[in-house]
Amino acid sequence: MSIALVVSGCRDDGVSDASEPSPAVERLCGDASVSAQTREAVEVITGSNRKDVRELGPTVADVAKEVDARRQSTTRAFGEGCYIYAVGSADAERLKVSWYLTPKPTTEPSPDFTMLRMGERAGAASDEGYVVFACADDSGSPDASPDYVGVRVDSRFGSRESEPDPKALRNAHATVAHSFALAMAKGLGCVDHAGLPAEPVLIP
């Protein structure tokens, strides 16, 4: 699995230049299709004054390949995607993307999350968001059942200069989770992008 490390705002002379756009924010975890809404959500989570971010870990394409390989033999698996850091923050402060294979969700959702109408199940809180979607391939086999894939994002940022309100953080985590779930569905070749909406649904 390839490792992508992107450090934002570096000139040829090695001096950080905050006036230059952050390539990591423009291309989160190797995904060039992230929207302006997703970029804004990352800024809300990491701190609005820290637009420059760096990322470490597998790209979305790498993760999709791993998930596709794992789902051929199991309905339960877990793995990590990339980590997103704000430049200048402590190493422990990060936004982490992870994935999991799961049976179809049937249990009651946790009351810690606000439930949202995306995929099979989606929820968000002020420090976490997730989307589970059903990925059917285009084989057309009547006996084929979809694979249930979950994407989770969680954050640890305790030193923001100003703390966003809980609703803004909840919406930001939901937006980032939706963005990665949609990218994953496309990468896996799920029919109709697993039925995920083009834009995140933030109204419960």
Q: Residue 122: phi, psi to the nearest 5?
A: -150, 145
| Closest to 176 (Cα-Cα) out of 202, 142, 148, 138 | 202
Q: Where are the domains of the chain?
A: 4-195
- Whether residue 124 contacts residue 170, with contact meaning beta carbons closer than 8 Å, is answered with yes
Euclidean distance between CA atoms 193 and 188, whole angstroms:
9
Task: Give the pLDDT confidence of 86-131 residue by residue, as tens digits.
Answer: 877 777 889 999 999 999 999 999 999 999 999 999 999 999 999 9
What pLDDT shows up at residue 8?
31
Listed in sequence order, the residues at least 6 apart from 64 whose beta carbon sits closer than 8 Å to its beta carbon are: 183, 184, 187, 188
Instruction: Answer whether 172's CB lies under 8 Å from 180's CB.
Output: no
According to the model, what pLDDT value does residue 32 have? 62
The tokens describing 76, both together, are 């339960």
The model scores a pTM over 0.85:
no
H-helix or E-strand spanning residue 6: strand 4-7
Q: Where are the beta strands (DSSP E) in 20-176?
A: 53-57, 77-86, 94-102, 114-116, 121-125, 128-135, 147-156
Q: Which two tokens stand for residue 9?
A: 């705002």
**CA-to-CA dists, residue 137 to 64, 65, 176, angstroms:** 14, 14, 24
pLDDT in tens, 128-141: 999 999 999 766 56
Instruction: Give the largest CA-CA distance in the chain.
Output: 59
Tens-digit pLDDT profile for the chain (204 aa)? Answer: 332 323 233 233 333 333 344 444 456 787 766 788 988 999 899 885 545 778 888 999 999 999 999 999 999 999 999 998 887 777 788 999 999 999 999 999 999 999 999 999 999 999 999 999 999 976 656 566 899 999 999 999 876 666 778 999 999 999 999 999 999 999 999 999 999 999 999 999
Question: Contact at 8 Å (CB) between 127 and 154?
Answer: yes
Identify the pLDDT of residue 16.
Answer: 33
Query: How many angstroms separate the CA atoms of 137 and 130, rounded?
Result: 22
CA 41 to chain centroid, in Å, comes to 11
